[in-house]
Structure 1
Amino acid sequence: MTETGTVSFTQMKDGTREDYELLERLEKPYLALTPDRVLDELRRQGEVTLEGYRITRLTHGLQSATRAERDGADLDWIVGALLHDVGDGLAPQNHDRFSAEVIRPFVRWDVAWVVEHHGIFQSFYYGHHYGWDRNARDRFKDHPCYDSCAEFCERWDQSSFDPAYDTLPLEHFEPLVREVFARKAYDPAVIREGFVSRLAE
């Protein structure tokens, strides 16, 4: 049976302990549905062809994740590759940071850092065509995740726009998404601040 009820306040500063305990209990089912909302967003991306590209946004994410899995990447990297552009729909100008915030509570810190910065690293491949500095990523040259982000873009992002690639379906990755989002948010044992993992075997 689902608990119901409403708080007594109209301004948060007037809330009581009982109000906030109620909200905490009511929020749990909503939090448990996070992977469903993420998967729904991916499905919506399957309805939108990348402007000017030959594949959908969903296919790009699936192809990136497929390449990561076939390279022997672990769970965090595969889900990071799948969701690295999940923010495109709502935040196209800063989708990399948006996408990173979606996964940050549930994956290693280096995976979240790479997703957060992949946009500037990815511009290495095309920035010069717009008159941009294609080496703008070098401002992060001393960061411990620099090489990981460069490799992520080279192996799994910039290469994943191929309509002929044998891409695994979303159903294949759904259990992985659910496993990651079932973790306790910001668990230090998961986040492993400062640890830099290998992208793949």
Structure 2
Amino acid sequence: MKDGTAEDYALLAELEKPFIAATGERVLAELARHGEATLEGYRITRLEHGLQAATRAERDGADLDWIVGALLHDIGDGLAPQNHDRFSAEVIRPFVRWDVAWVVEHHGIFQMLYYGHHYGWDRNARDRFRDHPCFDACATFCERWDQSSFDPDYDSLPLDHFVPMVREVFARKAYDPAVIREGEVTALTA
């Protein structure tokens, strides 16, 4: 790499444009793969879990970033089950608001409130973030959209409904300060 010229890197940047532009399609393909098998120990697939969370978000009046964040909050589960929350956040971080990425990144520790004690873990581990500006948003995200989205009888919207939303988000300029708005916390619902 150190021997590359400015012309070499200009060529690479040009050649990478189609690949970068197809990020949303690769994310959608990964999400579709989450529908191939039931989530271990549950009566739904990983895809259905994401669809339920996104449907709940939309029905609550959430905006585009929150809906896509809810849909993709577990996108990293297949490759990184032990840190899927951070993995998932890194997938969406360049394209969504700062607070949405923060919530997705931390939802795993916040979810421990519901089950951590059954494993001998600190169910209140999330309290170390009590003073963080996104604490309430993450607690609400987990309560309303994540922990409740394992219901085999829930009437969730189909993936096709969310495809245009995912494409719109991933078509944004990566790390656009007008989108990211670091430090700004938005309401989960209208």
Q: TM-score range by the shorter chain?
A: over 0.9
Residue aligning to 2:184: 195
Q: Is 1:61 the equivalent of 2:50?
A: yes
Residue aligning to 2:23: 34
CA displacement at 1:115 relative to structure 2: 0.1
CA displacement at 1:49 relative to structure 2: 1.0
1:126-173 deviations in whole A, cap 9, x for unaligned?
000111110000000000000000000000000000010001000000
Give SS of 1:36's match: helix
Which runs of structure 2 are paired with 1:57-136 in the superposition (5 Å)?
57-136=46-125
Residue aligning to 1:153: 142
Paired letter, 2:129: F
Q: Is 1:178 the equivalent of 2:146?
A: no
The structure number with the bigger radius of gyration is 1
CA displacement at 1:89 relative to structure 2: 0.8
Supply the RMSD in Å over aligned alpha carbons.
0.5
Q: Select the structure with the greater relative contact order (CA < 8 A; seq sep ≥ 6).
A: 2
CA–CA separation in structure 2 for the residues paired with 1:123 and 1:25 = 44
Q: Which runs of 5+ in 2 are unaligned?
A: none
Q: How many residues align?
A: 190
Paired letter, 1:36: E
TM-score between the two structures when normalised by the length of structure 1 = 0.94
Paired letter, 1:30: F
CA displacement at 1:48 relative to structure 2: 2.1
CA displacement at 1:17 relative to structure 2: 1.0
